Structure 1
Amino acid sequence: MPNMTLVAKIHVTGGQPTVEEVFTGGYIEATSSPKDNLDLPGRWVDWENRIPDPSWISVAWRGDDDHLHTGARTALDRLLKDAHTEPYAGAEIDLPSWRTFAATRGDHHLTMAGLSPDLWAIGHTTTMTAAVLQQDGTILADAPHSPSLTVLRDWLKQWEEAGRPAPATYTPALVRAGDGWDLRLSR
């Protein structure tokens, strides 16, 4: 997903990798021509709108969507048109902490969206429901009693109960996956 990159510093001794450090980070995708629009991530965008303002959505369930991205398009529309809004009751959002916590959930319905050029959001969507927390502390959902909003509120409660952990406080582990390794973070 865009902007969900975690960087792991790995040391290999005797063919055995060990994670030395984990931190948030990212990369800029190299392209054959200059990218003239930085309002949209370079990869993993499942649906985008250009008018009236740039907006986009990236869903972890893209493999379950159809080839026309109907589910992603519907989820984005639910967040943009007549969305239920409410303020987040917690303290100011620490985006690196929230982003890392949400990523470690490993939930199949994790979603990242850009609902305006400078305002990204992370939350839960399906083909039928949608709810995200924007980095300005506004929660948007398709309805006040949305199943995705219930999930998002539960994630936020768990994040607060965990003390809004910094990315560096997670315990990393490498798990063999085919010919390579998967990085897993736990608390």
Structure 2
Amino acid sequence: MTALGIPTTGAQAKAPGQPHLTLTTLTPANREGANSLLSGLSDKPHTEPTQAPGDEYFHFKNWLIGTSPEGLLEATLDDGVGIGVGSFAPDGTAHAALATEQLLIADHPESPALEVLRALIRQWWQEGAPRTHELRGRLVRDGDAWHIRIARA
């Protein structure tokens, strides 16, 4: 499976009866875990304005892919398409947070995943909010094809 052009060992979930709602983990996960993360984001989620709106979002998204934090995921929700992080509490509770062009979307206002995502956005700003063209690229051969992978500068 690939997502955002990244080969992934993650899992994909679709909301029952709402095929337009999807979530793909970009780090190892199972389908049950992906379903739990999607459920947390689609069942009356918490929303707030993002600190990386509009054009800033695309540069943040690419930086986040290059950073590859634990629990990296992408999702399509009613409130937009975005990228974020997910995690599981010791009791198995799923927590997820997503950044879109306009919003931060999370399972709960005090979600641990939302705290991680806010910290990543702060880190991106502290590093000078690198633009996509400032990120380091690496060519990777896959059979007869070449792919470029981005990494933090």
Task: Extract unaligned runs of 5+ from structure 1.
Answer: 7-43
User: CA 1:119 to 1:182, structure 2 compared with 1: closer, same or farther past 3 Å?
Assistant: closer
- Match in the other structure for 1:84: 46
> Where does 1:19-168 land on structure 2 (aligned, <5 Å)?
46-49=12-15, 51-52=17-18, 54-61=20-27, 63-65=28-30, 69-116=31-78, 119-127=80-88, 128-135=94-101, 137-168=102-133
Q: Distance in 2 between matches of 1:95 and 1:89?
A: 9
Letter in 2 for 1:185: A
Give the deviation of 1:51 after TM superposition: 2.6
Give the deviation of 1:174 after TM superposition: 6.0
TM-score of the aligned structures, taking structure 1 as reference length: 0.63
Q: Is the 8 A contact 1:45 1:56 kept in 2?
A: no
Q: Is the 8 A contact 1:71 1:126 kept in 2?
A: no
What count of residue pairs does the alignment treat as equivalent? 140
Give the deviation of 1:99 after TM superposition: 1.7
Letter in 1 for 2:113: S
User: CA 1:170 to 1:83, structure 2 compared with 1: closer, same or farther past 3 Å?
Assistant: same
Letter in 2 for 1:154: A
Q: Secondary structure at the match of 2:54?
A: coil
Q: Distance in 2 between matches of 1:81 and 1:122?
A: 18
Give the deviation of 1:162 after TM superposition: 2.5
Post-superposition CA distance 1:70-97 (Å, at most 9, x none):
1100100100112111112454343431
Task: Extract unaligned runs of 5+ from structure 2.
Answer: 89-93, 141-145
Post-superposition CA distance 1:101-158 (Å, at most 9, x none):
1101122310100013x821111112421111122x1111111111101100011111
Corresponding position: 1:169 with 2:134: yes
Give the deviation of 1:50 after TM superposition: 5.8
Percent identity of paired positions between Structure 1 and Structure 2 = 22
TM-score of the aligned structures, taking structure 2 as reference length: 0.76
Q: Secondary structure at the match of 1:79?
A: helix
The farther-off stretch of 104-113 and 47-56 is: 47-56
Q: Is the 8 A contact 2:76 2:82 kept in 1?
A: yes
Q: Distance in 2 between matches of 1:91 and 1:59?
A: 23
Q: Is the 8 A contact 2:15 2:38 kept in 1?
A: no
Post-superposition CA distance 1:29-51 (Å, at most 9, x none):
xxxxxxxxxxxxxxx76011263
Q: Is the 8 A contact 1:109 1:124 kept in 2?
A: yes
